[in-house]
Amino acid sequence: MVKNNAGFCTFDPDAPCSNCENEGMIFCKPDENKVIVSHLLEGSFILMALMGTGLTSMIVDSLWPVIVFSIFAALFFLVIQPRITCSHCPYYAEDRLFLHCTENHFSPKIWRYHPEPINWWEKIGTVVGFIFLGVYPLIIELYGIFISWNNSPGLVSLISVIGVFLGTILTLALFYIVFFLFYCPHCVNFSCVFNKVPEEYVKLYLERNPVMKKAWYKYWKS
């Protein structure tokens, strides 16, 4: 972490935000409303996925489907994503024990801050992680529906399994759509594979934040 949050206007309460061209263009200051929305979206999907994989575990009489998802989701959000994605974000430089940003809020900061851009393997890891997070529970739930159908369950049971599957799809779609359309185009983790902030705003932020600027220019020249 950067000692005393030095070199970041994001943590400076006296920063002249009203005179900044980036005001309203990027999420460079913590916003509790955005935190609540992101956690509602993320939590809703995780809850439905746990219900779906848990229901399938009951159908196939094995805990592995729900255990695999539970372990992966915990590792991805608390360990893997913070390293390969979040550790490159300015918010990760803040002198706190937990991440305080508009998206992956409250994750423990167990890694050091990396001001340089995300490299290719970290981008691949981010994409693969989010694909597995979304696809795995859907495949497991479809398998649960298939097994239920073949075992000729009651109508209520079958509708319940299908309902949880549709709920998982809906919450997953909302989670990804809202993030990709409303968060990623304004996120200050500029080198993330999903980031869509225009280059002009990136350069303006780097000019105001010398710690990142030095690391990015050094990385570009190497």
Distance CA 76, CA 41 (A): 16
Give the residue, 73 or 11, on which the prediction is more confident: 73
The whole-number average pLDDT for the span 19-47 is: 88
Distance CA 208, CA 65 (A): 47
Average pLDDT score over the chain: 89
Span of 12-26, 114-128, 193-207 with lowest mean pLDDT: 12-26
- Please say whether the dihedral angle defined by the alpha carbons of residues 15, 18, 20 and 23, taken in this order, is positive or negative: positive
Contact assessment for residue 59 and residue 47, using Cβ atoms and an 8 Å cutoff: no
Residue 95 per-residue DSSP state: S
What per-residue confidence (pLDDT) applies to 160?
84
What per-residue confidence (pLDDT) applies to 221?
58
Contact assessment for residue 86 and residue 99, using Cβ atoms and an 8 Å cutoff: yes
**Residue 133 pLDDT exceeds 90:** yes
What per-residue confidence (pLDDT) applies to 32?
84
Which structure tokens are listed for 222? 């190497």
- 169-203 pLDDT, tens digit per residue, is 999 999 999 999 999 999 999 999 999 999 999 99
Which structure tokens are listed for 99? 């991440």
Contact assessment for residue 113 and residue 92, using Cβ atoms and an 8 Å cutoff: yes
Distance CA 183, CA 191 (A): 14
